[in-house]
């Protein structure tokens, strides 16, 4: 869940900043009148790790999960493709919520749902005085703020199992904060598709690397290939590395020397014709 009205500028400018040791009053439980209010008409941005957790829990492949449960809005001013949880067209409810049981994927709910009512912000080009901070989203629909229960930011983060999400989310975060996005260049449609596949549609990315000549063209350690075959997180980390190479022109992949040599050989032959 994310706050419906706040925008990044006002959060950075106006919101009181909280650090890990700061505390706030909050408690959420089923018998509160507002139970599940927060799971209606919200913009929940999903990370690659959120999608992995949910598709495993639902025993779906990533393409089917994305088609059924997400939307990927893309406007002409937008540079970074994002994936959002798709709310029901009529009720605007999250597809996983029920008024009796609450969240149907509670153990695997996304990062944003775990964090709520806390948000996290990081100014662009942060200075030592102006780094990442937490802030409290106080919405009228949420009665948990009236509860007499004090908790620190770091206690909340531990209680909600957010550390694991943050740890697995590091390569994606690096990608999101890449200086490429601050430049003039925009991704072409085929690059957007590549970005979407590598970040979110991991089962399609798996076919892209395992069912093509990919590992003939790129020099990748055999042990790593085996690890990727059996482990989605290994594959996801590799996908981020691939994007840095293919979209941002970083030297994060090694092209197979024999391929270059054979191309050069062909070039010489072709040139001699």
**Interacting residue ranges for ligand SF4, rule: CB under 6 A:** 1, 28, 32, 34-39, 44, 94, 96-97, 103, 105, 109-110, 113, 116, 141-144
**Rounded distance between C-alpha atoms, residue 248 and residue 243, angstroms:** 7
- Is the Cβ–Cβ distance between 85 and 70 less than 8 Å? yes
Q: How far is the CB of 243 from ligand SF4 (least distance, A)?
A: 26
Closest CA to 158 of 114, 102, 191: 114
Query: What is the chain's percent helix, strand, coil content, to nearest 5?
Result: 45, 10, 40
Closest CA to 60 of 235, 201, 164, 211: 201
- Is the Cβ–Cβ distance between 152 and 21 less than 8 Å? yes
User: What is the distance between the terminal CA atoms of the chain, rounded to a whole angstrom?
Assistant: 64
Q: How far is the CB of 44 from ligand SF4 (least distance, A)?
A: 6
Q: How far is the CB of 34 from ligand SF4 (least distance, A)?
A: 3
**Rounded distance between C-alpha atoms, residue 144 and residue 33, angstroms:** 10
Answer positive or negative: Cα dihedral of 106, 112, 113, 116.
positive
Q: How far is the CB of 18 from ligand SF4 (least distance, A)?
A: 17
- Following DSSP, what letter does each residue of 140-160 receive, concatenated? TT-GGGGSS-EEEHHHHHHHT
Q: How far is the CB of 210 from ligand SF4 (least distance, A)?
A: 31
Q: How far is the CB of 3 from ligand SF4 (least distance, A)?
A: 12
Residue 150 pairs in a beta bridge with 25
CB-nearer residue toward ligand SF4: 168 or 180: 168
Q: How far is the CB of 221 from ligand SF4 (least distance, A)?
A: 37
Closest CA to 17 of 154, 157, 116, 119: 119
* Strand pairing report for 133-136 and 118-121: antiparallel
Residue 136 DSSP SS3: strand
């Amino acid at each position: 869940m994310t706050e419906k009205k706040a925008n990044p500028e006002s959060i950075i400018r106006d919101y009181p900043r909280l650090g890990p040791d700061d505390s706030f009053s909050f408690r959420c439980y089923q018998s509160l009148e507002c139970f599940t209010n927060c799971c209606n008409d919200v913009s929940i941005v999903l990370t690659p790790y959120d999608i992995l957790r949910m598709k495993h829990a639902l025993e779906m492949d990533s393409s089917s999960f994305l088609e059924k449960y997400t939307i990927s809005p893309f406007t002409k001013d937008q540079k970074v493709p994002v994936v959002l949880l798709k709310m029901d067209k009529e009720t605007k409810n999250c597809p996983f919520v029920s008024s009796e049981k609450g969240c149907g994927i509670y153990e695997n709910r996304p990062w944003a749902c775990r964090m709520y009512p806390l948000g996290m912000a990081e100014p662009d080009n942060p200075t030592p005085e102006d780094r990442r901070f937490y802030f409290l989203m106080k919405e009228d629909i949420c009665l948990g703020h009236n509860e007499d229960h004090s908790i620190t930011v770091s206690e909340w983060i531990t209680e909600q199992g957010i550390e694991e999400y943050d740890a697995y989310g590091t390569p994606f975060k690096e990608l999101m904060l890449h200086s490429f996005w601050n430049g003039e260049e925009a991704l072409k449609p085929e690059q957007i598709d590549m970005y979407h596949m590598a970040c979110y549609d991991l089962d399609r990315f798996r076919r892209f690397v395992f069912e093509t000549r990919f590992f003939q063209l790129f020099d990748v350690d055999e042990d790593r290939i085996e690890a990727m075959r059996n482990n989605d997180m290994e594959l996801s980390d590799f996908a981020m590395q691939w994007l840095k190479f293919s979209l941002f022109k970083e030297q994060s992949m090694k092209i197979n020397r024999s391929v270059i040599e054979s191309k050069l050989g062909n070039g010489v032959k072709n040139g001699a014709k």
